[in-house]
């Protein structure tokens, strides 16, 4: 299964028994909006997983705004959602794939590779005349056993040790204005991790909100690809470990599966007062 699937692909397979469709809609400004939207209308057969209740651990002093969930607790929630190690999973949202990509990344972290994100998301599905429903199906629990891929993860100590190391490339996935420290509406400090370059995650999408084709992604990520081809370790981060996931997915699509995610990201980095902060462009 491709990592990005079309509406037509999903429609043709929507009732296949090993396919689990997951609604990941969420709104940081209204944290009940995603589940409310799901209850009102969703793709037939879809189950709902919430960014903060299901796909993150509770917030604490460190770990960022969306800490990495406990792997066994996440595996139990996946099982209750009907996902087993043999399932094919298609996730969707209405925010350009950001939250769906979070589930895609978490599944990969737990050793499950057969997962994808629905191109263009729910609104495009509904406005395109594809089927929607308010009915929820009876979920038969799966049996999901995690096989943690620790090489996909970077923590704050890893980042500290990487500062000034020209064999490591940090990629900041936030909007350029936040990266440069010109504005910051979510976290207590503005700026970026020293040495990081900026690649805004929304630039993986075209003007219609669809994922760009591979040649366009290669052009966009040219300096990152060069670093990877040169054998440099590459670590992607964002504000809280969520919006970096589309960039990680894009690089996986291009064959660079060795990319790491700094799961706590900027909100974890600045929770340590001694960590340095840079502004402007690099």
Catalytic residues: 238
Q: Any residues with CB less than 8 A from the CB of 73 and at least 6 apart, and which? A: 57
**14 with 21: CB under 8 angstroms?**
yes
Q: Which of 24, 68, 56 is nearest to 260 (CA)?
A: 68
Which is it for the CA torsion 215, 221, 222, 226, positive or negative?
negative
> What is the DSSP secondary-structure string of 110-121?
TT---EEEETTH
With the CA atoms of 247, 251, 254 and 257 taken in that order, what torsion angle do they form, in degrees rounded to the nearest 10?
-150
| Dihedral Cα 229, 250, 106, 20, nearest 10 deg | -140
Question: Which segments within the chain are labelled E, that is strand?
Answer: 4-5, 19-23, 47-48, 88-92, 115-118, 153-154, 168-172, 197-198, 233-237, 260-262
Exposure string of 56-72, with b = 16+ CB inside 10 Å and e = fewer, is: beeeeeebbbbbbbeee
* 101, 246 Cβ separation under 8 angstroms: yes
């Amino acid at each position: 299964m491709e990592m990005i699937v079309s509406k037509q692909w999903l429609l043709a397979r929507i009732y296949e028994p090993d396919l689990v469709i997951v609604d990941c809609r969420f709104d940081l400004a209204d944290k009940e909006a995603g589940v409310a939207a799901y209850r009102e209308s969703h793709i037939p057969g879809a189950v709902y997983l919430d960014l903060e209740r299901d796909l993150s651990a509770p917030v604490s002093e460190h770990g960022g705004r969306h800490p990495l969930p406990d792997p066994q607790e996440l595996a139990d929630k996946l099982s209750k959602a009907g996902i087993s190690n043999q399932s094919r999973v298609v996730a969707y949202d209405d925010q350009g794939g950001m939250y769906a990509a979070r589930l895609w990344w978490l599944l990969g972290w737990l050793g499950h590779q057969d997962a994808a994100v629905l191109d263009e998301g729910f609104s495009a599905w509904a406005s395109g005349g594809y089927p929607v429903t308010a009915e929820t199906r009876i979920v038969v629990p799966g049996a999901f056993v995690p096989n943690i891929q620790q090489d996909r993860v970077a923590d704050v100590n890893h980042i500290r040790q990487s500062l000034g190391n020209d064999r490591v490339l940090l990629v900041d996935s936030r909007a350029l204005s936040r990266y440069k420290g010109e504005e910051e509406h979510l976290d207590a400090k503005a700026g970026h991790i020293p040495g990081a370059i900026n690649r805004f995650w929304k630039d993986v999408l075209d003007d219609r909100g669809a994922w760009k084709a591979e040649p366009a992604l290669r052009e966009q990520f040219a300096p990152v690809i060069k670093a990877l081809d040169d054998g440099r370790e590459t670590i992607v981060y964002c504000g809280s470990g969520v919006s970096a996931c589309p960039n990680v997915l894009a690089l996986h699509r291009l064959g660079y599966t060795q990319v790491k995610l700094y799961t706590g990201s900027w909100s974890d980095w600045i929770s340590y007062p001694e960590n340095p902060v840079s502004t402007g462009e690099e």
